[in-house]
Amino acid sequence: MTGKPAGREHLPANELGASTVSVRGGFEPAVGEGISPPMQLSSTFHHPIDPDPNVLPFSYGRDRSPAFEPIERTIADLEGGRFGLAFNAGMSAAIPLLFEAKPGTALVMPADCYFGIRVYAETEVAPRGVEVRLVDQTDLAAVERALDGASFFWTETPTNPYLAVADLEAIGKLCAAKGVPWATDNTFATPILQNPLEWGATAVMHSVTKYIAGHSDLVMGAVVTNDEALFGRLRAYRGKNGTQPDGFGSWLARRGAQTLAIRVRQQTSSALAIATRLQAHPHVTRVYYPGLPGHPGHEIAAKQMKGGFGGMLSFEVKGGAAEAEAVIAACRVWMPATSLGSVESLIERRARWTGEVAGPALIRLSVGIEDLEDLWHDLERALLAAG
C-alpha cells in the first residue's frame, strides 16, 4: 500500500471517442498529482515481507510495471479490447503470436505482409515443425483452403508495401468456421481507422514505433486481445524473454499517442490528395492506395476502415530502380528513410531491402503532417527533375 490518494476512476473508454481516449492516455491522477504520469524508471518495487499480488500488482519490472501500463491501457482502449501488452519492439509483439502455431500444423500468412514477420516465420517458426503457408489473403477461396490443417492465421491490412486490402469480416467468418485463431498487424491502419477485434480477430498487433508513438524516437510494440488465456501466455512469454519496453520509451509513447487521432486524420487527408495527384502524373505508372476508387480493395477498405484510408501509399515511377532512386535523391522535404507513421514524411524504394517483395521502381511514401502543398511541390519537382 502506498498511502497515496487513489487516482480518479478511468473514464469509460467504450463511451468515448478515440481522441478523448488517447488524450487521457490510460492515466487518471489523484488530486495533487501531476496530470502527466511520472516517468517510471524503477526496475523493482517496494513490497511488504509477505506480498499479496492482489494488493500490490507491481513486483519486478520484467512482468508488470506502472511504466508501461498507461500505454498498454491506451492501446487496448483504442482497439476496444480487454487486455493490452506492450513489448520492446513490434517484432517482439508479433513473435509470440506466431508461436501460437503448433508443430505439425500450418501457420497461414500473406506473402506481402511486413517482410520481417514473414522472414521470421520462415526462418524461426518453420524449423520447429510448423508449415508456413503463404496465401493471397484477398482471395477468400484460397484462404479457406489454406486454413485446413492450420492452427494460426496471420493477416495484415492494408499490407506493406502494396496496400492490398484483406476483408476482415470474411476472414473472421472463415476462421470462426474452421476454428482457427487469427491475428492482424494493424500498424498501417492504426487503431483510429480500424479495429480488427470488431471483426472477430483473436489479437491485434501494432508496431507502436510507427503511428502510435508517432515521432521516430522509439521502438515499441503492442498486442491487444479479449482472450484472457492468450493474454496470460503472451505476458508469461514476455516475462521469460525480457521483451518488455523501458520506462523512458513507454513515457514517450504515451505522450506521442495523445495526438494520434489528430495526426492520423491529417496524414490520411494528405495521403488521399497525394495519391490522387500522383495518379494523374505523367511520370507515374501506378499508384497503390486503398482510398482511390480504382483500387481493388477500395470497397472493402471503405467498409472496415473508419474515416479514411491511412497515411501510407506506394507508387511506381516510369523506368526502374535508377529512376526511382533519382526521384528520392531529388526530394528535399520528403526524408529518405525507412519506417513510417511519424510526423515527418518519409520516402523509400522498398526493393532495396533483401527479402522484401517489391518491384524495382516501387516507391513507398509515409505521409507526415507537414503542409500538403509543400509535400506535393517537393514530389512534383523531384519527379520532373528525375524524369
Instruction: Specify the amino acid at residue 193.
Output: L
The catalytic residue among 77, 112, 167, 185 is 185
> Among 26, 25, 40, which residue's Cα sits nearest to residue 248?
40
CB 52, min distance to ligand PLP, A: 36
| CA distances from residue 142 to 122, 135, 174, 259 in whole angstroms, order as listed | 20, 7, 11, 39
| Contact flag: residue 69 with ligand PLP (CB under 6 A) | no
Residue whose C-beta lies closest to ligand PLP: 90
- Report if residue 190 touches ligand PLP, rule: CB under 6 A: no
> Considering the complex, what minimum distance in angstroms separates the CB of residue 165 from ligand PLP?
14
Q: Cα dihedral sign for 20, 26, 32, 34?
A: negative
Look at the block and give the residue holding cell 492501446. 75
Residue 339: DSSP 8-state: -
> Helix, strand or coil for residue 237?
helix
What is the Cα 100 distance to its own chain's centre?
19
Using the rule CB under 6 A, give the single segment among 15-23, 40-48, 180-188, 235-243 that binds ligand PLP. 180-188
Cα 143 from Cα 125, distance rounded (Å): 20
Q: Is 68 in the site for ligand PLP (CB under 6 A)?
A: no
CB of 160 vs ligand PLP, minimal distance in Å: 5
# binding residues, ligand PLP (CB under 6 A):
14
Among 89, 130, 147, 180, indicate the residue that binds ligand PLP (CB under 6 A).
Answer: 89
Residue 221 binds to ligand PLP (criterion: CB under 6 A): yes
207 sits near ligand PLP (criterion: CB under 6 A): yes
Active-site residue flag, 60 = no
Show contacts with ligand PLP in window 333-362 (CB under 6 A). Answer: 339
For residues 156 and 167, which CB has a smaller minimum distance to ligand PLP in the complex? Answer: 156
Q: Does 187 bind ligand PLP (CB under 6 A)?
A: yes
Cα–Cα distance list, 260 to 25, 80, 82, 253 (Å): 11, 16, 20, 10
DSSP result, 87-109: ESSHHHHHHHHHTTSPTTSEEEE
φ, ψ (nearest 5 deg) of residue 216 = 55, 35
Rounded-to-integer distance, Cα 107 and Cα 99, Å: 9
**Minimal distance in Å, beta carbon 340 to ligand PLP?**
6
Contact with ligand PLP (CB under 6 A) among 79, 185, 246, 325: 185
CA distance 60 to 58: 6
| CA-to-CA dists, residue 333 to 219, 374, 375, angstroms | 24, 7, 6
114 annotated active-site? yes
Residue 90 beta carbon to ligand PLP: minimum distance, rounded to whole angstroms: 2
Q: Which is nearer to ligand PLP, 138 or 160 (CB)?
A: 160
Active site residues: 62, 114, 185, 210
Where does this chain bind ligand PLP (CB under 6 A)? 89-91, 114, 116, 160, 185, 187-188, 207, 209, 219, 221, 339
